[in-house]
Each structure stands twice: as structure tokens, then as C-alpha cells.
Amino acid sequence: MRKIMTIQEADVLLKRYYEGFTSTEEEKTLHAFLSQKHLPERLEADKEILRYFTSQKKKGKTLTVPLIAWTSVAASVVIGLLVIHFFIPGKFDSYAYIDGKRITDIAQVKEQAVASIQSWNRSDKDSNMDTDELINQQLQLFIK
């Protein structure tokens, strides 16, 4: 047999409820108290709030995805990335951009470099290095 709750006890229990310190049994008691007729008007809002949360609990639990499912997804992603990395190799070529066009033919790049170097007015410090040596030195920056 349940004890009849006073309004002061309900106020204390409501305070504990909003702070998150009530047990399931205390919440049921509070719900039963607030379900009665002729409550003071100041408790009507609390009655509606408690009714709302009680109805949400009865609707069902949220869907939770088990840890094994997340592990499977992560493993699939890792395997997919490994397959892409090892079985679909990227094409890594040496190239240069000349006048905005990508040139991959090393002979053509060398030819353009020679033409460019020959048009320079070489300073005294560059005069010791021959043209082929300078070109090869510069091409080493672009060749693997």
C-alpha cells in the first residue's frame, strides 16, 4: 500500500527528479501523484513534462549499433584503402610544365631547357659551368 504523498514531499521529489537523482520507483510514485485530479496549478507544467518523458520511454529504445558492426565497417574501409593503394597504382612520371602544358617527354623538356639557358645572359659565376652540366643539374630536380 502506497503512502499518500503531500505537496511538500512532491516538491522535494520533483527537485530531485530535475537534478537526476530519483530512482525508477520514485519516478513512478511522482507520476502517480501528478496523475491525480485537483492538483495545484503550479504543478501542471511538471505534470506535462513528466507525462512527456514517460511516454518517450514507452515508445521504445533508440537503435544502437553493436560494436562488432562498427568494427566491421572500419575493417572494410581499411581493406578498401589497401586494395586501392596496392592494386591500382598511380602513374608517377617525371614531367614539367612549359607554357602551361604538361610535358612528360624528357627529351623535349631537355630541349626546351637548353633553348632557355642559351637565351640567358650568363653571369661570370655561371660561365665556368658548361650548358649540358647545368641542364643535367636542373633536370635532377625533376627526375626520380
pLDDT in tens, 15-55: 998 888 988 888 888 888 888 888 888 888 888 888 887 66
Residue 125 has pLDDT above 60, yes or no: no
State the pLDDT confidence band at 1, using cuts at 50, 70 and 90: very low
| Residue whose cell numbers read 578498401 | 80
pTM: 0.37
The mean predicted confidence, pLDDT, of the chain is 77
Residue 112 has pLDDT above 50, yes or no: yes
Q: How far does the chain reach from its first CA to its final CA, in angstroms?
A: 88
Query: In the prediction, which pLDDT does 87 show?
Result: 76
Lowest-pLDDT choice from 57-66, 69-78, 85-94, 135-144: 57-66
Cβ pair 13, 5 in contact under 8 A: yes
